């Protein structure tokens, strides 16, 4: 369809305005750390949804959630690119963008178990790149709270990582490294949770939420020790319970330090 140059120009201006409006939502360095940290979580949530769709499990409407997460990852990346100040941070976001484009295409195709192992590896590379960018934003904040927001935000990612690795196992994807990766995720989650429980920034609300997270995490520890297979819907729900509560904790840290 023919599109007049004037219309293209107007669309271009509209796009820039839209990106600017998204970026304007970032009101503080802590919020930038929070949003950058969410990108880490999205890499693992997309993998979890991909596996659920591949298995034909409709609990939580994973197909719809997958597309929503793809869109949010793209929008957040645009927002962070506008907000980033230092060259090192900008360069890390450019790397994320180059990794993201081919993955975005794969994730929107019909899930294929033969591609799931490679997808997991590629999303792990994207995860590491997103983690690097988050650390740069934490450094830019210049506050100890930036690191706490980073740590709390990473728990959101780990909740989805534990679930996605287990989903791939249930789906039938064979990878001898999955057990080690899951063990590492569980260990990191537990030690990070202990650090958060000792944070001087905590208040009663944060402590209550962390206690709920701790109770949900016990389920994953039991799952990892058991030889029985847990149903995917239970894994999905428990991981989302942790995600919801850790997201609230992260937002409370951001709010307390952005005043």
DSSP letters for 139-174: HHHTSHHHHHHHHHHHHHHHHHHHHHHHHHHHHT--
Q: How confident is the model at residue 259 (pLDDT cuts 50, 70, 90)?
A: low
Q: Percent of the chain at pLDDT above 70?
A: 88
For residues 78 and 26, the model is more confident at 78
What is the average pLDDT across 119-138? 96
HSE, side-chain direction, 13 A CA sphere, residue 183: 7
Per-residue pLDDT band at 20 (split at 50, 70, 90): very low
Residue 136's SS3 state is helix
**For residue range 186-239, what is the model confidence (pLDDT) as tens digits?**
999 999 999 999 999 999 999 999 999 999 999 999 888 887 777 789 899 999
pLDDT at residue 179, rounded to an integer:
87
Per-residue confidence (pLDDT) for residue 174, from 0 to 100: 87
Quote the CA–CA distance of 253 and 246 in Å, as a whole number: 11
Question: How large is the average pLDDT for residues 19-34?
Answer: 70
87-107 vs 113-141: helix crossing angle, rounded to 10: 160
For 165-183, write each residue's pLDDT tens digit. 999 989 999 888 988 999 9
Residue 134's H or E segment, with its range, is helix 113-141
Q: What is the spatial distance between Cα 221 and Cα 223, in angstroms, rounded to a whole number?
A: 5
- Weakest mean pLDDT among 82-86, 118-122, 225-229: 225-229
Q: Is 222 helix (H, G, I), strand (E, B) or coil?
A: helix
Reduced to 3 states, what is the DSSP secondary structure of residue 209? helix
* Per-residue confidence band for 81, with pLDDT thresholds at 50, 70 and 90: very high
Note the pLDDT of residue 23.
44
Q: Which of 22-26, 96-100, 144-148, 219-223 has the highest mean pLDDT?
A: 96-100
The token duo for 166 is 């287990």
Lowest mean pLDDT, pick from 42-46, 143-147, 202-206? 143-147
Global pTM reads 0.86
- The arithmetic mean of pLDDT across residues 113-135, rounded, is 96
> Hey, where are the domains in the chain?
28-254
């Amino acid at each position: 369809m023919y599109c007049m140059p004037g219309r293209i120009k107007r669309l271009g201006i509209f796009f820039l305005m839209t990106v600017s409006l998204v970026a304007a939502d970032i009101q503080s360095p802590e919020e930038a750390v929070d949003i950058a940290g969410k990108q880490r979580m999205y890499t693992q949530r997309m993998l979890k949804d991909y596996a659920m769709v591949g298995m034909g499990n409709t609990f939580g409407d994973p197909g719809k959630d997958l597309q929503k997460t793809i869109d949010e990852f793209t929008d957040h990346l645009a927002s962070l690119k506008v907000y980033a100040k230092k060259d090192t941070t900008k360069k890390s976001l450019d790397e994320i963008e180059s990794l993201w484009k081919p993955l975005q295409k794969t994730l929107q195709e019909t899930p294929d178990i033969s591609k799931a192992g490679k997808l997991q590896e590629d999303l792990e590379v994207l995860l590491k790149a997103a983690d690097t960018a988050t650390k740069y934003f934490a450094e830019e904040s210049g506050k100890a709270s930036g690191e706490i927001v980073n740590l709390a935000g990473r728990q959101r990612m780990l909740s989805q990582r534990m679930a996605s690795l287990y989903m791939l196992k249930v789906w039938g994807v064979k990878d001898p490294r999955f057990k080690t990766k899951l063990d590492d995720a569980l260990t990191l989650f537990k030690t990070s949770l202990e650090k958060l429980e000792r944070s001087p920034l905590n208040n009663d609300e944060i402590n209550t939420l962390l206690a709920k997270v701790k109770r949900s995490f016990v389920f994953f520890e039991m799952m990892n020790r058991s030889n029985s297979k847990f149903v995917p819907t239970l894994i999905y729900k428990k991981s989302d319970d942790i995600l919801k509560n850790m997201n609230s904790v992260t937002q409370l840290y951001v709010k307390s330090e952005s005043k």
